[in-house]
Amino acid sequence: MGLGMDETTLQGEDVRGVTAVDGSVKARLERGALILFAENGVDGVSTREIAQSAGVSEGAIYKHFKSKEVLAQHLFEAIHVHLYALVETAIEEASGFEDAVNRVVHAYCAAADEDRTLFEYHITHMFRFGRKHQPGRPDPTTLIAKRIEAAIEAGDCPAGDPEIKAAAALGVVLQPAAHRMAQRFQGALSDHAHRFARAALAAAKEA
């Protein structure tokens, strides 16, 4: 987990990368930047601070990333693409609409627990990076909306705007994740995934 790592830990061979090999310089840069960005926002962090957290020179950053903004978007896209793959697999393996909702919710909860810092960074930087239109970009929310649209056409879900339904269903998972960020509760989201799945299904059908 990214949370709780200090600079000493970030110097070690066990530092977890986001896309890089664990323990590599790039992994230390990714994890150090991720923790700092999640805590302070991209604009509140300097490249000097990132370098210090990774135990490297400031110039080493530019061997892997053209700029701090490129690094920040790289981290966002990593979890965005990962969530897309999880959602795609959940939908493909599901036997019907209700099972698809259940599998997607469990996949989101697992991702939120598996790398808390990365997931929370994705939530807090959605407006910065998620609104940019990129043709061909894998987008998990679009995939969910399309599955809901198919369910409406098949008569498995009441009529309505698939995007609104997707937003309502996803909110059942994302709002608890935000509450956990605010330390309003502790523990794994996966412990409540079955309840969230029922609520997400109801939200999709009622929205």
Q: Are residues 187 and 158 in the same domain?
A: yes
* Percent of the residues in the chain that have a pLDDT greater than 70, as a whole number: 93
C-alpha 181/C-alpha 117 separation (Å) is: 9
Instruction: Kindly report, residue by residue over 2-13, the tens digit of the pLDDT.
Output: 333 444 345 555
Instruction: Kindly report, residue by residue over 59-105, the tens digit of the pLDDT.
Output: 999 999 999 999 999 999 999 999 999 999 999 999 999 999 999 99
Instruction: Specify the pTM.
Output: 0.88
Determine, yes or no, domain membership for 2.
no
Q: Are residues 91 and 133 in the same domain?
A: yes
- CATH number assigned to the domain comprising residue 175: 1.10.357.10
List Cβ neighbours of 203 (8 Å cut-off, separation of 6 or more). Answer: 165, 168, 169, 171, 172
- CATH number assigned to the domain comprising residue 18: 1.10.10.60
What is the count of structural domains for the chain? 2
Q: Are residues 198 and 99 in the same domain?
A: yes
Instruction: Kindly report, residue by residue over 21-35, the tens digit of the pLDDT.
Output: 999 999 999 999 999
Per the structure, the complete domain to which residue 180 belongs is given by 75-206
Q: Are residues 95 and 143 in the same domain?
A: yes
C-alpha 181/C-alpha 164 separation (Å) is: 24
CB-count burial class (<10 Å; 0-12, 13-18, 19+) for 134: exposed
- Given 27, 43, 65, the domain boundary residue is 65
